[in-house]
A and B are shown apart, each in its own frame.
Chain A
Amino acid sequence: MFPRQSRTETVDRFDWLSVSYLLGALLLCYYLLPFVSLFASQPLGVVAQRLTSPTVLSAATTSLSASVTSTAIATALGLPLAYWLARAEGPRKTLVTAIVVLPLVLPPIVSGMLLLTIVGPETLLGRLAAENGVALTRSTAGIVLAQTFVASPFVVITAKAAFERVDPALEYASQSLGKSRLTTVRRITLPIAWPGILAGITLAFARAIGEFGATIMLAYYPRTMPVQIWVSFTTLGLDNAFPVAVVLVGIAVVTLVVLNTLGSNPFE
């Protein structure tokens, strides 16, 4: 009834596992070597000195304040949408998810062009805002608009996954104990989903602070760190662009540390 000969006796002896490790190691080297090269070519003392220059400090301040603001907006607007998506079913959910993903798959520079058709100086919205003293381009508001467009899907998609992992039975149980939907979300759903939500917020912040394509279309000034890197690179060369790049690399590393500390790295 059963084969008497082991199947392993007939299989190919070629060690595919070692080959796959080797291929993976090659890719890892490709990731790591630029970092090693960056830090090797830039003496820490020189980097630290350049970091204190007014242009770098100004770019860092602009980037941080705009990123915090856009991340806060993305969280405030993204969490309700993420919760709705997690609990919705049917074609509406598919359609809305596709809309949310759109800024992720769109080239950032195209996102910037699209945003200009809505908030550009010649548009209705742009003019109305300008008349009320708020410039939607060439301003921190422009940076925030660009960053929110590009980074907010990270909050929505990651938080949606976190909400989906909360068993709806827990929410029903809470409500059957006499608690309102709002209380249930506040005391049951959010605390359980929180590590995943925080991961989404962290990713959105990292994406926002590194945003370049859409930002440069909406706000060349005030300069963010990525724009400053571009300007330094095109005008003064690679060496002058590195100090700000080091700051961004530092932020990326901190992001990874935060994600792993939360214990719910969405990429795991």
Chain B
Amino acid sequence: MLELTGLSKTYSGFAFGPVDLTVGDEVLSVLGPSGSGKTTLLSLIAGTVDPDVGSISLNGRRLDGRPIADRETGLVFQDGALFPHLTARENIAYAAIDPDRVDELAATFEITELLGRRPPTLSGGERQRVALARTLAADPAALLLDEPLSSLDAPIRRRLRGELHALFADLDIPIIYVTHDQRTATALGDRLAVVNDGTVEQIGTPSRVLSQPETRFVASFTGTENVFAATVSASTDGTTVRIGEFALRSTETVTASTVAACIHPTQLTLQPANAADGEVENTVSGTVVQQLNEGTEYRLLVSVASLTEPLIATVRPSTGERLSTGSTVRLTIPPDAIHLIE
């Protein structure tokens, strides 16, 4: 178990922490924008940066103050950080406690054919496989990965993501996976921590963090782009939320009188104004002001009277292509899709 207690570090112009975090034999995905402190978190644990305050312990052994080499924390870098003057085999053998494991790990990562080659001749995906094999050859007590897939092309990234998922399931050690890619974070993490401005804003299961963001930042960074200031009043079945002129019903209950009402773009239902029939709860009218074809989905910006910002909706292409700029539409927001942050 990896435990961080009151960990903080101040650079000129950036403060990290204090962070308290416990990671068991699980995968913790750390998601955040550039400069949020993700890499600092890994650096502090790995020992490449010393904390100002706080402690780090791994399986009950204090790590802070120890040299990097004595921490048993395997580091995987964005570009693999393979030693360019050594072949793939020599890279793995350099770390291997048991020399027999080189071939075994090479087989696991399907790099046996590459063992005689030097890193500059390997593709990005191949380099990361060698880097992972090298890190595991040292038999680390914790694994720290710093955006290892971010520089790879999408198809290779998807494939390696699947392989990492299978690999992590077999490793009974704390694993921290840092990324700014939400898909990778949710696909690999047993838990997801969203960091911003040097602090952990929210931590929980990926589905919980995505569906129930606790701060405006988590909401917007994880894709809930519609965040509006709202006043609330209790109703018989949940909460009545007033955004601009509209009174909408949310199934959630809150104690505060003012909240941030969050609606994920995928939760909005759009119909052409003339296709609507009957009164449907939580429905407002608006005009499409921008239509973007993003391939697998359409992203629509819908201007709604009395709202200062347009509502953002992502819909299937079959729906999106019918709703061109200037179309009048009816938006329906399911009551259980309005998440309230106090």
Provide 26 A-B residue pairs closer than 8 Å at the C-beta atoms, listed in order of the A residue: A167-B81, A172-B46, A172-B48, A172-B75, A173-B75, A173-B77, A173-B81, A173-B83, A174-B83, A174-B94, A175-B69, A176-B68, A176-B69, A176-B74, A176-B138, A177-B74, A177-B134, A177-B137, A177-B138, A178-B70, A178-B95, A179-B69, A181-B67, A188-B83, A191-B85, A192-B84
Are A176 and B83 interface neighbours, CB within 8 A? no
Question: Cβ of A93 < 8 Å from any Cβ of B?
Answer: no
**When chains A and B are docked, how far (Å) is the Cα of A106 from the Cα of B241?**
78
**When chains A and B are docked, how far (Å) is the Cα of A179 from the Cα of B72?**
11
Question: Cβ of B71 < 8 Å from any Cβ of A?
Answer: yes
Question: Which residues of chain B are near A130, meaning CB under 8 Å?
Answer: none
Q: Taking beta carbons and an 8 Å cutoff, which residues of A are in contact with B?
A: 167, 169-170, 172-181, 187-188, 191-192
Are A177 and B83 interface neighbours, CB within 8 A? no
Counting from the closest, the 5 A-B pairs by CB-CB distance are A175-B68, A177-B95, A173-B81, A176-B75, A169-B81
Question: A-facing mask of B249-288, CB < 8 A → 1, else 0?
Answer: 0000000000000000000000000000000000000000
Residue of B70, B84, B97 with most partner-chain A CB within 10 A: B84
Are B72 and A178 interface neighbours, CB within 8 A? yes
Are B83 and A170 interface neighbours, CB within 8 A? yes
**When chains A and B are docked, how far (Å) is the Cα of A173 from the Cα of B84?**
12
The residue of chain B having its C-beta at the shortest distance from the C-beta of A183 within the complex is B69
Tell me the minimal C-beta distance from B63 to chain A in angstroms.
Answer: 12
**When chains A and B are docked, how far (Å) is the Cα of A191 from the Cα of B85?**
7
Are B138 and A178 interface neighbours, CB within 8 A? yes
Residue of A169, A187, A191 with most partner-chain B CB within 10 A: A169
Question: A-facing mask of B301-322, CB < 8 A → 1, else 0?
Answer: 0000000000000000000000
Which bracket fits the contact residues of B?
20 to 34
Question: A-facing mask of B87-104, CB < 8 A → 1, else 0?
Answer: 000000011010000000
Tell me the minimal C-beta distance from A165 to chain B in angstroms.
Answer: 11
Are A177 and B94 interface neighbours, CB within 8 A? yes
**When chains A and B are docked, how far (Å) is the Cα of A170 from the Cα of B83?**
7
Question: Which residues of chain A are near B85, meaning CB under 8 Å?
Answer: 191-192
**When chains A and B are docked, how far (Å) is the Cα of A211 from the Cα of B319?**
82
A167, A180, A187: the one within 8 Å of B69 (CB): A180
CB under 8 Å from chain A, chain B span 53-88: 67-75, 77, 79, 81, 83-85
Question: Which residues of chain B are near A191, meaning CB under 8 Å?
Answer: 85
CB under 8 Å from chain A, chain B span 185-237: none
Are A169 and B67 interface neighbours, CB within 8 A? no
Question: Cβ of B29 < 8 Å from any Cβ of A?
Answer: no
**When chains A and B are docked, how far (Å) is the Cα of A173 from the Cα of B74?**
8
Question: Which residues of chain B are near A179, meaning CB under 8 Å?
Answer: 69, 94
Question: Which residues of chain A are near B94, meaning CB under 8 Å?
Answer: 174, 177, 179, 187
Question: Cβ of B135 < 8 Å from any Cβ of A?
Answer: yes
Are A176 and B84 interface neighbours, CB within 8 A? no
Are A170 and B69 interface neighbours, CB within 8 A? no
Tell me the minimal C-beta distance from B39 to chain A in angstroms.
Answer: 11
**When chains A and B are docked, how far (Å) is the Cα of A177 from the Cα of B85?**
17
User: With A170-B81, A188-B83, A192-B83 given, is the CB distance from A176 to B67 under 8 Å?
Assistant: no
Question: Which residues of chain B are near A177, meaning CB under 8 Å?
Answer: 69, 74, 94-95, 134-135, 137-138
**When chains A and B are docked, how far (Å) is the Cα of A181 from the Cα of B48?**
12
The residue of chain B having its C-beta at the shortest distance from the C-beta of A192 within the complex is B85
Tell me the minimal C-beta distance from A118 to chain B in angstroms.
Answer: 39
The residue of chain B having its C-beta at the shortest distance from the C-beta of A169 within the complex is B81
Question: Which residues of chain A are near B47, meaning CB under 8 Å?
Answer: 175-176
Question: Which residues of chain A are near B135, meaning CB under 8 Å?
Answer: 176-177
Residue of A169, A172, A176, A178 with most partner-chain B CB within 10 A: A176
**When chains A and B are docked, how far (Å) is the Cα of A191 from the Cα of B84?**
10
Question: A-facing mask of B116-143, CB < 8 A → 1, else 0?
Answer: 0000000000000000001101101000
Tell me the minimal C-beta distance from B27 to chain A in angstroms.
Answer: 19
Tell me the minimal C-beta distance from B234 to chain A in angstroms.
Answer: 54
**When chains A and B are docked, how far (Å) is the Cα of A178 from the Cα of B83?**
15
**When chains A and B are docked, how far (Å) is the Cα of A169 from the Cα of B135?**
14
Question: Which residues of chain A are near B67, meaning CB under 8 Å?
Answer: 175, 180-181
Question: Which residues of chain A are near B73, meaning CB under 8 Å?
Answer: 176
**When chains A and B are docked, how far (Å) is the Cα of A181 from the Cα of B66?**
13
**When chains A and B are docked, how far (Å) is the Cα of A76 from the Cα of B47?**
30
**When chains A and B are docked, how far (Å) is the Cα of A179 from the Cα of B67?**
10
User: With A176-B46, A177-B135, A192-B84 given, is the CB distance from A169 to B77 under 8 Å?
Assistant: yes
The residue of chain A having its C-beta at the shortest distance from the C-beta of B80 within the complex is A173
Question: Which residues of chain B are near A180, meaning CB under 8 Å?
Answer: 67, 69
**When chains A and B are docked, how far (Å) is the Cα of A173 from the Cα of B94?**
11
Question: Which residues of chain A are near B68, meaning CB under 8 Å?
Answer: 172, 175-176
**When chains A and B are docked, how far (Å) is the Cα of A106 from the Cα of B83?**
40
**When chains A and B are docked, how far (Å) is the Cα of A188 from the Cα of B77?**
16
A172, A181, A192: the one within 8 Å of B81 (CB): A172
Are B134 and A176 interface neighbours, CB within 8 A? no
Question: Which residues of chain B are near A176, meaning CB under 8 Å?
Answer: 46-47, 68-69, 71, 73-75, 135, 138, 140
Tell me the minimal C-beta distance from B143 to chain A in angstroms.
Answer: 10
**When chains A and B are docked, how far (Å) is the Cα of A172 from the Cα of B69?**
9
**When chains A and B are docked, how far (Å) is the Cα of A188 from the Cα of B67?**
18
Question: Which residues of chain B are near A181, meaning CB under 8 Å?
Answer: 67, 69
Question: Which residues of chain B are near A192, meaning CB under 8 Å?
Answer: 83-85
Tell me the minimal C-beta distance from B44 to chain A in angstroms.
Answer: 13
Tell me the minimal C-beta distance from A205 to chain B in angstroms.
Answer: 24
**When chains A and B are docked, how far (Å) is the Cα of A186 from the Cα of B68?**
17
Question: A-facing mask of B16-50, CB < 8 A → 1, else 0?
Answer: 00000000000000000000000000000011100
